[in-house]
Structure 1
Amino acid sequence: VDMSVFIPRLVEVYTVYEGIQYGLPWLGDAMIFPYNRQHFEDAGLDPAAPPTSWDQVVEMGHQLTTGERYGFSLMGGRQVQVMCTYAAALFAQDVNFYDDAGRPLFATPEGIAAMQTLADLVPISPPAAATWDIVAAAEAVAQGICSTEIQWPGILGTLLDPEAPVAGQMAYAPPPGRGPLGGWGAAISAYSQNKEATWLLMNYMTTPRIQKEYAARGYAITAEALFTDPEIQEIYPYAEAAGQAMATGYPWPRTQESVDVFTIMTEYCNAVVVGQEEPEAAARAMDAEVLQLRQERGLITE
């Protein structure tokens, strides 16, 4: 297998564990930054210059917010995407969830700043965004109610609808700084009784030619050259931005307690969005609760 055809970051994240490669990159995914070019022009902003930092997202968001139009579409409800938005603001500062010993970094200056960013997105989002999930936030952009969002590509189908109110108005950029990386790799179970056949199937599924075929059916891709392929860009105008996001994205921690950590983070992030907690207090409390959980499960190395 020619591993050079894949985005290197996806090989590292999707297939390698403790220095050993176990599989192949299969379905790529990373949060990107869709924005409405027409709204930018209306606000006197350069549509060719999307924000490259979260401070700029907030600053431009205030310029874009006018009347019944809002600068940002916040996935602010008590669901996992509000945590993803916090993570995007944290990762943009080159800080991940934990330090080398496994201690959370949410009470660091960067972690507190990310929570402040979440609070700063509230005034430039519709009031109802405090309850929004991924679908509601994406729909608000598709309807032209909101000008920008941080979003997963798989939910952007309504933006591509030629009948959508924003048809022909959208542009796409990688997230400010860097953002969360999703996606999947394909690997062979140690218990497989057909390892050779499985390897051949994995190789077949991930070749650029086959990836290009299944991209047209709605599947994600990992072969680097496809993200700038004109035929792929015709199907997915956000492809180049997604490829750039995947090249630098931070993955979620590979630990068994992650779902419980996400639940804790979701509660505190939503509390900031609805005004129940101040950003710094929420970040410190979230840090303490996650630290306790990881200590109880033996995941902190001194």
Structure 2
Amino acid sequence: MPPGTRRIPSSSASARPPWRFAGSWKARSRPPWPTRRSSTDCRGLPRGERPSHPPPRGPGRPEEVMRKNTRESVRMRSSEAIWQDRRHIMRQGMHWWRFVAIAGIAAAVLTVVAAPATAQVKIRFQTWHWNEKPWVNSLEEFQKTFNQANPGIEVVRDDSRYGDKEAVFTTQSQAKAAADIPHFSYRPIRHFADRGYLLDLSPFIEKEGGQKYLAQWDPQALEICKYKGKIYCLPDDLNPLVLMYNTQHFKEAGLDPAKPPATWDQFLDYGRKLTRAGRYGVGILGARQEGVFMRFNPWLWGAGGDYLTPDEKRSALDTPEALEGFKFYVELFTKHKVVPPGVIEQGAQEVRTQLAHEKVSMIITLPAAPGIVQAINPNMKVREVMALAPVPVGKKKVTSAWFSLRVISAFTKNPEAAWKVYKAWYDKDSQMRNFKIAGVLSSRLDVRNAPEVKADKYAQVFSAQTPYVKLEPLVPEWPKIGDAMLTAIQEGLTGVKTPEAALKGAHEATNRALGVQ
């Protein structure tokens, strides 16, 4: 290409600019000033006076017209190319959106077709047993069986903690976000009903047959579920408490395993003989949880004491009998030293763990304990090592019970689905599964009286104590009364107060809760 020639942009070799001009292509490309060195510039001035820039171009000069037209041509062609590119992109975008739309329609069709196979409603099934063996095995089997049989409903795990389940449920209910089916003992049921936290099950029960349907359960247990003309629950497992002890420890201490302690004096004597280096005779609860009541109450009631007067209007904790039972319990630790240290930190599971690892020899416990102890220490042959006996007797033969209940939250968004899950939990197969896996005794009469239940050596001992079961007062003020007693027990165990002063504080707090001046 000759020097000074400028290339004109073109989209193709055959393209020609849309304008016309004089001269050839070669002439068009010449520069407007001389290319050879001369003594004068284009204006005839001496070269020394030549300006530092090219001479001005007039708009009328052919070369300038040519350049102007060339720039306009480039701009025009550039704009045209841009619009061509945009149209191409738009066509591609239209194809893409057609693809997306078709794919979306196909996905929607597949979703509609597959909808019956996916769960539409999730029911939160809440309990602390999700984290506890062997209970979790029974729960997971129930969950699996129900979900397979009911594709429109899914039972989902909802964990709670035994120690603060009531407080958590209260907070969740205030926010209208409680689990669909929570799990409690019988103690807070009426309190929660008064607050409007529980769903009345009466309409569902009527659809199932009313009294004929309810006749499947123990009538005394069923009464606890009734309050102010409504039914807020069905009775689950009703488990009397008994004495569980290590027969090998008895032999090592020179005690006959076939003759467990039958009285308070014998119990204390056995506790002393079983206590030795690294091992204690008795495990008791002192943690701030409702499990304390089941282990403490047999001593309070066994001495002839009680929480309230017969009319349930005033506290009865100021009687000598109540003080006798209270002192016996706390002095097992403070005076007789047959209980391991750290008692106020020991809850139900901690005490069972002590028994499983042979740190204690005797505990007061419920039917689920053998299976739990076995799960804690798989190396122990629980049914060979552990034996059961009635709670030692004081002035009265009495025991307490773990009475398990499940309710439906008043704030469930799916009451029909929740009832379907609830009903399935209480059917015969589910309740029998709970006995086989967890060892608990159902309130369903057809399960309690089943041959395999009656033939079980542990179940026989627990069932025999049912006539001696006593429960705490079924009053809405119980949460405050129970809280006052827990405070008194911890004060007595730690020595912060004498047994007399600690129990007096519980007595006064109970009267305040009842509105007694």
Give the alignment's TM-score, normalised by structure 2. Answer: 0.48
> Is 1:170 aligned with 2:170?
no
Cα 1:4–1:174, aligned 2, differ >3 Å: closer, same or farther? farther
> Is 1:37 aligned with 2:247?
yes
Contact 1:82–1:270, Cα closer than 8 Å, also in 2: no
Deviation per residue, 1:187-216 (Å, 9 max, x gap): 9999xxxx9x99999888656666324423
Query: Equivalences for 1:110-125 in 2 at 5 Å?
Result: 110-122=321-333, 123-125=337-339
1:171, distance to aligned residue in structure 2 (A):
0.9
Query: Which protein, 1 or 2, shows the higher relative CO under an 8 Å CA cutoff with sep ≥ 6?
Result: 1
Cα 1:171–1:284, aligned 2, differ >3 Å: closer, same or farther? same
Of 507, 511, 516, the residue aligned with 1:287 is 507
- Once residues 172 and 110 of structure 1 are traced to their aligned partners in structure 2, the CA distance between those partners, rounded to angstroms, is 27
User: Which amino acid letter does the alignment assign opposite residue 124 of structure 1?
Assistant: V
Q: What residue in structure 2 maps to residue 252 of structure 1? A: 472
1:272, distance to aligned residue in structure 2 (A):
0.9
- Once residues 18 and 174 of structure 1 are traced to their aligned partners in structure 2, the CA distance between those partners, rounded to angstroms, is 35
Give the SS at the match of 1:250. coil
- Once residues 163 and 233 of structure 1 are traced to their aligned partners in structure 2, the CA distance between those partners, rounded to angstroms, is 26
- Once residues 451 and 253 of structure 2 are traced to their aligned partners in structure 1, the CA distance between those partners, rounded to angstroms, is 31
Of 352, 356, 370, the residue aligned with 1:142 is 356
Q: What residue in structure 2 maps to residue 261 of structure 1? A: 481
1:57, distance to aligned residue in structure 2 (A):
2.1
1:266, distance to aligned residue in structure 2 (A):
0.8
Give the SS at the match of 1:183. strand
> Is 1:222 aligned with 2:443?
yes
Contact 1:135–1:155, Cα closer than 8 Å, also in 2: no
Unaligned runs of at least 5 residues, structure 1: none
Of 278, 299, 302, the residue aligned with 1:68 is 278
Aligned length: 295
> Is 1:49 aligned with 2:49?
no
Cα 1:185–1:140, aligned 2, differ >3 Å: closer, same or farther? closer
Give the alignment's TM-score, normalised by structure 1. Answer: 0.78
- Once residues 29 and 227 of structure 1 are traced to their aligned partners in structure 2, the CA distance between those partners, rounded to angstroms, is 11
Contact 2:294–2:401, Cα closer than 8 Å, also in 1: no
Of structures 1 and 2, the larger Rg is shown by 2
User: Which amino acid letter does the alignment assign opposite residue 102 of structure 1?
Assistant: K
- Once residues 213 and 389 of structure 2 are traced to their aligned partners in structure 1, the CA distance between those partners, rounded to angstroms, is 29
Give the SS at the match of 2:402. strand
Contact 1:158–1:164, Cα closer than 8 Å, also in 2: no
Cα 1:254–1:56, aligned 2, differ >3 Å: closer, same or farther? same
Deviation per residue, 1:119-172 (Å, 9 max, x gap): 232110111224212221110001111001112444543323472446321012
Deviation per residue, 1:44-101 (Å, 9 max, x gap): 2221232333333222111211222211011123444344433221122454321124
- Once residues 284 and 233 of structure 2 are traced to their aligned partners in structure 1, the CA distance between those partners, rounded to angstroms, is 35
Cα 1:275–1:198, aligned 2, differ >3 Å: closer, same or farther? closer
Give the SS at the match of 1:148. strand
* Root-mean-square deviation over aligned CA pairs: 3.8
